[in-house]
Amino acid sequence: MNWSHVRLILGREVRDQLRDRRTLFMIAVLPLLLYPLLGMSMFQIGQFVREQPTRVLLLGAEALPAEPKLVEDRSFAVALFAEPDQQRLVELHLADSEPGPTGKAWTLDDARRAVETGHFEAVVHVPSDFSRLLGDFQRQLKTGAETKAGGADTRQAEPQVPSPEILFNTAKEKSQLAFMRVSQLLERWREQIGRQNLIDSRLSPEVARPFAVSECDVAGQQQRESAVWSKVMPFLLLIWALTGAFYPAVDLCAGEKERGTLETLLSSPAQRIDIVGGKLLTVMLFSFSTAVLNILSMGLTGSIVMRQFPELGAPPPLAPLWLLVALVPVSALFGALCLALAALARSSKEGQYYLMPLVLVTLPLVVLPMAPGVELNLGNSLVPVTGIMLLLRTLLEGEYLRALQYVGPVACVTLACCLAAVRWAVDQFNSESVLFRESERFDMGLWFKHLLRDREDTPSASEAVVCGLLILLVRFFMSFALPQPGSFGDLIVLTLVTQLVVIGTPVMLMTIMLTRSPRATLLLRLPRWDVVPMAALLAVLMHPSAQLLSRFVQFLYPVNREVREALDGLMAGSAGHFWEMLLAMAIAPAVFEELAFRGFILSGFRRLGHQRQAIALSAFFFGISHALFQQSIVACLLGLVLGLVAVRSGSLLPCLTFHLIHNTLSLLAAQPGAFSWLGELVEAGEDGPTFGWPVIIVSGLLSALILVWFRRLPYPKTREEALEAARELADSKAEGGGRKAEDAAQAERDEQGDSDERRLTRAY
């Protein structure tokens, strides 16, 4: 990367954006106006909602006891309200003083319909014998108490009082509010009756409440105040960082295409990575500024508005510092994502359409930390975006020690995501089909014809993505369509059917329909003689490390107890059926998953020209195709190993061998007394054997050596990979040696030109 080019591009883009009125409005004017307006409207709406009175009908007022009073002056008794001025919030209508809808007296059915139609928000129905039976019960209590005082032994009076009923409608929010208000009133009224009963029974009213529960909030004033801010501020920060990144990104990419300036920039000495770097820094800067201005404006408005809510208090004093620190990686991540997406758009208008999917994907990660009970722990800190939000929240709450523990994992995950997003953005700028995409009328028939007619030896990267998504979709719908396995036998059959239908069928169909050479696509070649034994050895040596990793993942993200019990229940019948298990859980996955993920999908991604990226993408799809999240993480990492083996050996056979042996060893590990021949090196446990550290370290080191051996194997590059390698070599020469390299290249040019010409002409 040439930093002077990056600085130049950054300077130009920033100046360009600052001269654009729309951008200025979005980043500077909108935040300053938004919060005061929002505060004002919230204030008005809040008042409006609070002032709404509830219409309640009372049916059977004549059956109410004289004391204590539920109704007083055609309204609920003022003593029943927590605050006397709340009385006006319940508008009471007495059924006996108003004619019913039919013109006659109200019936219970009329009342029910009135609630259904919303004429009343709630109806209180007092049974006709309520007062009489309550009176009877109270008299029994009095008599009992007098008799007891006379020394005679009496039995306790049993209450036979019918229940008053509240009719309400949960489908209507106003009715729910009415129910809440009325039920509180009736509760207090019942307490009054109860207290009276205790007095009548010659007992102190305190009998029912022998003690009070006192509350003691240990949170300090500052902690209480920061609790709300620490949830709201990270959320707003992320949302504005995303919005602030998106609009400049669209203008910087799609706008440049629209104005026809992209071609000129691409033909300048600035390399694609310089262009992306400059643009990314611009987008980051605007994302950063938008978020900062929003937080400032919110703080300013908040400090004025919040004076009316003293319990909320001011935000924590160090909040601005933490927010600024967190904004750097957040704006980098969103900036790179927005840039890559915006590069797809042909026009600014098209670019706007891409905002919604990005928000929809990001929103769950932003909302997750807001859920009650979600706290910063190792598992959550490894989730992109969520981790950084939780870390920020912990810092705002002032728990610095706790935050410090998770800075490492959050930083690693965020950095990895940023790098992946930047890589994607650079790839977009290297892709002709993205940069020079022309609008074409879409015709489904023509498109199908084009797919079949223009197929190549191996699938394209987009076909690989479609295959991966198809597997996920079919799996999702199959999980609902198929019956839940009831026994071990069902599980075996269902696993086999799922492998065949979900993975095998789509892959085979897509290979036959969309490629010219199923052999090249699915790597159906015989490898070098020593590759298969090495892959088998690798699988065996990696087993202890893989098992350790699997346990660690389950420690970080414990499997839901219900899921674990269901799995254990299904596996309970597995004793004595090892061969069936081997078929369903080792042989079938080894065949079908390898054909899919190391065959079709990896071949498709290799067309992008970057081998490591292809391996990572195929491993990602392999990971997410597993049902349990915990399995996905382990599978994703094993997918990287399998991808490397596939690319370097050029054959599916070693991958199949590795996969088969890996799964078989996992099945064997679940058998009682497994690996007991290893003696003290293995410890039997509830979840199978645990390997000792010497085994894990030695086998891990040996696995690493074998992986290095695989990496050093000579392997056939795809045409795209060969071109990228040649380009990287030329670029590194140009960057490393400067003028010297140019001279060297000049001296070599005729020879190289001729050889390239021959090679590419042959390739075509």
Tell me which residues touch other proteins (CB under 8 A): 4-5, 8, 12, 15-16, 19-20, 259-271, 432-433, 436, 440, 442-443, 446-447, 450, 453-454, 723, 726-727, 729-731, 734, 742, 745-746, 749, 752-753, 756-757, 760-761, 763-764
- CB closer to other proteins out of 79 and 446: 446
Distance of closest approach, residue 605 Cβ to other proteins, in angstroms: 18
Phi and psi, residue 385, nearest 5° = 65, -55
- CB closer to other proteins out of 59 and 270: 270
Contact 57, 19 (CB under 8 A): no
- CB closer to other proteins out of 215 and 440: 440
Distance of closest approach, residue 286 Cβ to other proteins, in angstroms: 15
- CB closer to other proteins out of 266 and 674: 266
Task: Tell me the helices (H) and strands (E) count for the chain, helix number first.
Answer: 32, 8
- CB closer to other proteins out of 267 and 308: 267
- CB closer to other proteins out of 440 and 562: 440
CB atoms within 10 A of CB 434: 17
Distance of closest approach, residue 426 Cβ to other proteins, in angstroms: 15
- CB closer to other proteins out of 530 and 728: 728
Distance of closest approach, residue 754 Cβ to other proteins, in angstroms: 8
List the one residue out of 688, 621, 642, 631 whose CA is nearest residue 538.
Answer: 642
- Looking up tokens 């904004």 gives 327
Distance of closest approach, residue 4 Cβ to other proteins, in angstroms: 7
Distance of closest approach, residue 450 Cβ to other proteins, in angstroms: 5
138-to-62, 162, 737 alpha-carbon distances in Å: 19, 14, 104
- CB closer to other proteins out of 564 and 758: 758
Is the four-CA dihedral 149, 154, 156, 159 of positive or negative sign?
negative
- CB closer to other proteins out of 22 and 307: 22
Distance of closest approach, residue 727 Cβ to other proteins, in angstroms: 6
- CB closer to other proteins out of 212 and 444: 444
Helix/strand/coil (H/E/C) assignment for every residue in 697-763: HHHHHHHHHHHHHHHCCCCCCCHHHHHHHHHHHHHHHHHHHCHHHHHHHHHHHHHHHHHHHHHHHHH
- CB closer to other proteins out of 291 and 520: 520
Q: Which two tokens stand for residue 194?
A: 């109860």
Q: What residues have CB less than 8 Å from 350, skipping those under 6 apart?
A: 254
**In angstroms, rounded to a whole number, what is the distance separating the alpha carbons of residues 346 and 254?**
5
CB atoms within 10 A of CB 399: 16
Contact 229, 315 (CB under 8 A): yes
Tally the C-alpha atoms within 13 A of residue 287's C-alpha that lie toward its C-beta.
30
DSSP string, 380-403: HHTSTTHHHHHHHHHHHTT-HHHH
Distance of closest approach, residue 447 Cβ to other proteins, in angstroms: 6
**In angstroms, rounded to a whole number, what is the distance separating the alpha carbons of residues 726 and 748?**
14
**In angstroms, rounded to a whole number, what is the distance separating the alpha carbons of residues 391 and 308?**
30
The secondary structure element, H or E, covering residue 353 is helix 348-353
- CB closer to other proteins out of 484 and 732: 732
Distance of closest approach, residue 239 Cβ to other proteins, in angstroms: 28
Distance of closest approach, residue 3 Cβ to other proteins, in angstroms: 12
Distance of closest approach, residue 720 Cβ to other proteins, in angstroms: 10
Distance of closest approach, residue 737 Cβ to other proteins, in angstroms: 11
Distance of closest approach, residue 227 Cβ to other proteins, in angstroms: 45
Q: Give the distance, in angstroms, between the CA of residue 3 and the centroid of all CA atoms in the same chain.
A: 36
CA dihedral 457, 458, 460, 465 (to 10 degrees): 150
- CB closer to other proteins out of 51 and 454: 454
545-to-140, 158, 379, 642, 692 alpha-carbon distances in Å: 77, 69, 20, 15, 11
**In angstroms, rounded to a whole number, what is the distance separating the alpha carbons of residues 512 and 128?**
79
